[in-house]
Structure 1
Amino acid sequence: MAIAIVLVVLALGSVLFHFLSPWYFTPIASNWGAIDTTIAITFWVTGVVFVAVNLFMAWALVRYRYRREGRAAYEPENKKLEWWLLVLTGGGVAAMLAPGLMVWADVIGVPKDAQVVEVVAQQWSWSYRLPGKDGQLGRVHARLVTDANPFGLDRHDPHGRDDILVAGPELHVPLGQPIKLLLRSKDVLHNFGVAQLRVKMDLVPGQVTYTWFTPTRTGSYDLLCEELCGVGHFAMRGRVVVDEPAVYGEWLGRQTTFTQSADRPAGSVSAGRALYASCAACHGANGEGNVALHAPRLGGQPAWYLARQLQLFKAGARGTHEQDTFGKMMAPMAATLPDDQAMADVAAYIAALPEAPRTATIQGDLDRGRRLYATCAACHGADGRGVAATHAPRLQGMSDWYMARQLKNFRDGVRGGHPQDTHGAQMALIAAMLNDDAAIGDTLAYINSR
């Protein structure tokens, strides 16, 4: 009897939880209401079966409970019951499958006027490519992927010269325009998922998969990788922003084409030498850093990372938090560099500086640090020398006291919270695993030992 009561309570409680629960689908912002309808039908079919089965088991426990005088009747088959079960089960399965098949037919039937956007996934970031004025995307190949050509575009294909490259996790799309997403992965299996748009499709290495949607409401929506793709999977996030057509046009006009990116002049070491004179007062003539002035070592860092940090300081994405005392000191110095070319020149000069001997200031448990660094190594490399493809700077040989301060800033929300600092936001998520100063010290001690 007690088990029968538990089954009844379980069935009724589950139904009540479903209808009264505050956790439900996010409001839809695309044309895929049919997906919600299909899921609702599945809920009703499986819900009715779940309640019926549990109530039947409760009834059977009571009806056929043990009685001293009771005798079991042998009934090996019941054709009437079997036909009822066959018809009801078949009807339930058909009710669940038929709507899904119809929706799938719509998913693979992309409207002819859909705007094409290529989505490129890589551990652990998103980037995008849109056709230029010719309306066609250029050829790409995995063999052509380099640090300077991360999309792997064929430089000899004229259709690719005006392709618009968005080297960041935020994609803008126009309201009311069907969007066809071409999905490509550069390494492992990923998944493009935006809950509000009801979009979810795998990105398979070596293939180009696709899906489509029509945005019906302006707003900014979280993009998540919904396929376990490695230790940094949880930090692989992006945004899909739905704009009014005029606003979208303005955003599109600010983006860089492949030709503009390829023709961008490289940083000049000779021009950077003169610009670095003011930096040397704090960071040293050879970029060796100065702990007394809270200036970290710069020598040994790649030019792409140095230029990115200067751009963040100049744009106000770094050095504006009220608790970032030393970042506030750096921000006005970056503002003295007039444009991106000047930043590239300074970065090129610093990257060309000879590496000065390093001095470790932090000691810790190397074995614990090795275990903690396993997560960091996924982006920064096993030797800590940085990986351009994952946008991860060099750690080995850098100022450990500075890295300790930055890890605390990331962990405490002082750094990485600005919308433009997308890579900083990823780092903030990773730094949260270092829940005390001892963990930070152990990790840096291990990096110092490399």
Structure 2
Amino acid sequence: MAVILVLIALGSIAFHLLSPWWWTPIASNWGYIDTTLIITFWITGVVFTAIVLFVAYCLYRFRHRPGQRAAYEPESRRLEGWLTALTALGVAAMLAPGLAVWAQFVRVPDNAAEVEIVAQQWRWSFRLPGADGRLGAADIRFVSDDNPLGLDPEDPAGRDDVIIDGGDLHLPLGRPVKALLRSYDVVHNFYVPEFRAKMDMIPGMVTYVWFTPTRTGAFDALCNEVCGVNHYAMRSRVVVDAEPAYRSWLDQQKTFSQFATRSPGGTRDAALLRRVAEDR
């Protein structure tokens, strides 16, 4: 048994160092999160290895032998003191980097551009500010076929907002982005593995996450919270473009005012939305 425990400890270390299953290459500024996880792995790995090897040593050193009697020592204040101090030091070493990263995680840069990400079973929709650089107000009461994100038709700031319903979200390279997160039905979670950052989307609340894309490419956007039978299929893509390509893509997208009148019933629905706003 002692030999088996030693092999378990050595095998665990070898698997961690040689494993081909590692994180995907990072594509945002949140390499701090990777560093925090690596610190946690090292601390817990050292503790795990030390405990397993200590148990193996005890099995071998204090194995049964004819004529040998076990010594009974109910407590040791010195040992308890060492264990308490080392445990407190280890916990502090794991918590401190996480708290430092969290402080950065919730502090959004002043120059961050806002985008909105809306989740519903089982699809993603996106909204970007128009020429005025501001997102208009939204309310779930305004949701309709021609207003899938529930924008307030009486808010001038929302008329030039870019609506992407079911398509890919494009973002410019190297510019910080604050993603406002909403859910229409159940708890979802917006997660792009290469960005490392993720956040729950809770009905009735607007949560947020911010990041700066650092690499061009197309990255899968996943729901990382079980949200129903088709949870596995709730996918989209975030495409990071260089500035010229991003501007070219943005110029081709429809604004809210165009979106609401794209079908024969659009004008009727827009009038209905105005009446709802008046009743409100």
- Aligned residue runs from structure 1 range 3-42, under 5 A: 3-42=1-40
Identity of aligned residues (%): 62
Match of 2:117 among 107, 116, 119: 119
Show the counterpart of 1:76.
Answer: 74
75-84 vs 38-47, greater mean Cα deviation: 75-84
What is the CA–CA distance in structure 1 between the aligned matches of 2:239 and 2:93, rounded to whole Å?
A: 35
- Alpha-carbon offset, residue 87 of structure 1: 1.3
* 1:248-327 matches, cutoff 5 A: 248-266=246-264
Residue of structure 1 equivalent to 2:181: 183
Q: Which residue of 1 aligns with 2:268?
A: none
Trace 1:427-446 onto structure 2 (pairs within 5 A): none
* Aligned mates of 1:103, 1:169 — CA distance in 2: 32
**Post-superposition offset of 1:129:** 0.5
Q: Which has the higher strand share?
A: 2
Q: Deviations over 1:167-222 (max 9, x none)?
A: 12411100000010001011111111111111211111111100100011111111
Aligned 8 A contact 1:124 1:235 in 2: yes
Structure 1 unaligned blocks of 5 or more: 268-450
In the alignment, structure 2 segments of 5+ residues that lack a partner are 266-280
Asked whether the equivalents of residues 147 and 259 of structure 2 are also in contact (C-alpha less than 8 Å), the reply is no
Deviations 1:321-349 (A, max 9, x none): xxxxxxxxxxxxxxxxxxxxxxxxxxxxx
1:265 Cα deviation (Å)? 4.2
CA distance in 2, matches of 1:193, 1:64: 51
Map Cα deviations across residues 404-449 of structure 1 (whole Å, 9 max, x no partner).
Answer: xxxxxxxxxxxxxxxxxxxxxxxxxxxxxxxxxxxxxxxxxxxxxx
Match of 2:230 in 1: 232
Contact 2:146 2:261 in 1 (8 A): no
* Residue in structure 1 matched with residue 199 of structure 2 by the alignment: 201
Matches within 5 A, 1:104-253: 104-253=102-251
* Secondary structure at the counterpart of residue 260 of structure 2: helix
Code of the residue aligned with 1:89 in structure 2: it is T
Q: Please report how far the alpha carbon of residue 263 of structure 1 lies from its aligned counterpart in structure 2 after TM superposition.
A: 2.3
Q: CA deviation at 1:5?
A: 1.2
Question: Residues 236-286 of structure 1: CA distance to partner in whole angstroms, max 9, x if unpaired?
Answer: 11111110001000111111100011122417xxxxxxxxxxxxxxxxxxx
Q: CA deviation at 1:124?
A: 0.8
- Cα drift, residue 110 of structure 1: 0.3
Distance 1:262 1:124 in 2: 23
Q: Partner of 2:61 in structure 1?
A: 63
Q: TM-score, normalised by structure 1?
A: 0.58
1: CA distance between counterparts of 2:145 and 2:80? Answer: 65
Q: Which residue of 2 aligns with 1:403?
A: none
Confirm or deny: 8 A CA contact 1:138 1:157 kept in the other structure: yes
| Counterpart for residue 97 of structure 2 | 99
* 1:46 corresponding residue in structure 2: 44
Larger radius of gyration: 1
SS of the residue corresponding to residue 57 of structure 1 reads helix
- Report if the CA contact (8 A) 1:186-1:205 is conserved: yes
Whole-Å Cα distance in 1 between the matches of residues 122 and 110 of structure 2? 32
The amino acid that maps onto 1:79 is R
After superposition, the C-alpha distances for 1:123-154 in whole angstroms (9 at most, x for unaligned) are: 11111011111121111111221222110111
Matched letter for residue 41 of structure 2: F
Contact 2:200 2:207 survives alignment (8 Å): yes
| 1: CA distance, partners of 2:117 / 2:144 | 17
Alpha-carbon distance, 1:69 to partner: 1.2
Aligned to 2:269: none
CA offset at residue 74 of structure 1?
A: 1.9
- The number of residue pairs the alignment matches comes to 265
TM superposition outliers: structure 1 runs of 4+ over 2 Å: none
Q: Which amino acid in structure 2 is aligned with residue 200 of structure 1?
A: K
SS across alignment from 2:182: strand
SS in 2 for 1:12: helix
Deviation of the 1:77 alpha carbon: 1.2
For residues 209 and 6 of structure 1, what CA distance do their matches in structure 2 show? 48
Give the stretch that moved more between structures: 35-44 or 75-84: 75-84
Offset of residue 66 of structure 1: 1.5
